Amino acid sequence: MTKLSDAVALRAFALFILLGLVSVVCLWTLNPVQSQAQTAFALLLSVDLVVFAMASYVYRVSKWKEGVSRLPLLGGCIILLILLIVGLTL
């Protein structure tokens, strides 16, 4: 797997932060009394956690000058997509 350049990694970092903020906003719109909202809450919270892990990975690996690998980012993005689709359609 090839490595991402610093500029692309920085864009990915910004995108993850944005996605995390969107997910947090969605969390506050849920009605906690509904039982279905508990599932959505868990899914959106897990989106936040995955986003944080990926943003932290980009920051850490860029700092170590080891090059951000595409594989974890690609895997994380697929997981995020699934979580977001399921979480927002509930």
Partner 1 sequence: MSESERSGQATGLVERLVGWFDSRLGLSHELLRPVPRYSINPFYWLGALAVVAFVIQGITGSIMLLYYVPTPATAYASTLSIFQSVNYGQFLETIHLYTAYAMIMLAFMHMMRGYFVSVHKKPREIMWITGMLMGFVTLGFGFTGYLLPWSVVSYSATNVGTSMISVLPPPVASFINFLVKGTGGDSGELLRFFDLHVVVLPAVLLVLLGVKMYMLEAHGVSEPTTGVTPDLQTRRGRTIPFFPDVSFYLLELAALFGAAMLLVSVLFPLNLPPAYSPAAASQYVAQPDWYFLWVYQILKISAFEKAGLSWALSFTALIFVILVLLPFIDRGETKRISKRPIYVTLGFVFAAEVIVLAIWGHLTPGQVIPNSQAILVLGGTALMVSLISLTAYGVLRGKRQESTQMPKVSSPSQPRASSAHTASVWVSGMFVVVLGVGTLSIGSSINSLVLMTTFGSTDTQMAVLAFSLVVLAVSVAGACFLLYRLDLGRGRIKRRVRAFEVGWKE
Among 4, 19, 26, 50, binds partner 1 (CB under 8 A): 50
Does residue number 68 form part of the binding site for partner 1 (CB under 8 A)? Answer: no
Among 18, 25, 42, 74, binds partner 1 (CB under 8 A): 42
Residue 29 has phi, psi (to 5 degrees) of -85, -5
Q: By the 8 A CB rule, do 40 and 30 touch? A: yes
- Among residues 1 and 5, whose Cβ is nearest to partner 1? 5
Span between the terminal Cα atoms of the chain, in Å: 35
Among 56, 74, 75, 81, binds partner 1 (CB under 8 A): 56
